[in-house]
């Protein structure tokens, strides 16, 4: 069994030396260290540390926040460790230890809670979108033309006072925007919810 240590700090003004010393004292045979934000998904030294793990090896960190930026990130990393048939330990977070039955149980529960949280967020987001649409809130791309511009363009086109190209130049939009609006006819000038501040424009 080989213990692979991983140390990380977020900025150049910090040092990994304290972490490296703690990892060595805990029996790390090899240490990968880097300066990188926890939000980065392409932490090269972490990837190297996981890659060298073999069956029965252990990935060791001083604290969980040195390894992952979120519960989902932690679980993804631990999944990669499990695929390598290796274990994981955190010196500070004693419960996060996949080399013990109790630690594996705790992380399994954590994974279940994270999945439950993800489903709740998805459900709330979906419900919120339905409610917004019911209120007439436009959920599409940013507006290109205001309601008055649409009315002006449709009137000019219907009276033959300007071409679609003329109106596109006047309002500084693509001609395709004017073309689609013309196909919709009067409905394009005052669709439901057009009085809502987020719905006063039409997307390109």
Catalytic residues, by residue number, are: 10
Q: Distance (Å, rounded) from C-alpha 199 to C-alpha 203?
A: 10
- The rounded Cα 39 to chain-centroid distance in angstroms is 10
Point out which residues pair with 4 in neighbouring strands.
30, 59
Q: Distance (Å, rounded) from C-alpha 202 to C-alpha 204?
A: 7
| Phi (first) and psi of residue 5, to 5 degrees | -90, 150
- Give the contacts of 50 (CB within 8 A, at least 6 positions apart): 59, 77, 80, 81, 84
Point out which residues pair with 87 in neighbouring strands.
58
SS3 10: coil
Q: Distance (Å, rounded) from C-alpha 71 to C-alpha 130?
A: 28
Point out which residues pair with 146 in neighbouring strands.
201
Point out which residues pair with 59 in neighbouring strands.
4, 88
CB 19 within 8 A of CB 47: no
């Amino acid at each position: 069994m080989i213990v692979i240590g991983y140390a990380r700090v977020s900025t150049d003004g910090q040092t990994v030396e304290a972490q490296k010393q703690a990892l060595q004292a805990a029996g790390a045979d090899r240490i990968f260290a880097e300066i990188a934000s926890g939000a980065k998904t392409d932490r090269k030294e972490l990837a190297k540390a996981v890659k060298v793990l073999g069956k029965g090896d252990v990935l060791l960190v001083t604290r969980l926040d040195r390894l992952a930026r979120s519960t989902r990130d932690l679980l993804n990393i631990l999944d990669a460790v499990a695929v390598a048939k290796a274990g994981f330990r955190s010196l500070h977070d004693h419960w996060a230890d996949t080399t013990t039955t109790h630690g594996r149980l705790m992380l399994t529960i954590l994974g279940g809670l994270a999945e439950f949280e993800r489903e709740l967020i998805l459900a709330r987001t979906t419900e919120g979108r339905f409610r917004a649409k019911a209120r007439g809130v436009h959920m599409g791309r940013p507006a290109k033309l205001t309601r008055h511009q649409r009315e002006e363009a449709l009137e000019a086109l219907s009276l033959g006072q300007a071409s679609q190209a003329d109106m596109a130049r006047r309002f500084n939009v693509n001609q395709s925007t004017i073309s689609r609006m013309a196909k919709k006819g009067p409905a394009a000038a005052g669709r439901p919810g057009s009085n809502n501040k987020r719905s006063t424009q039409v997307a390109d």
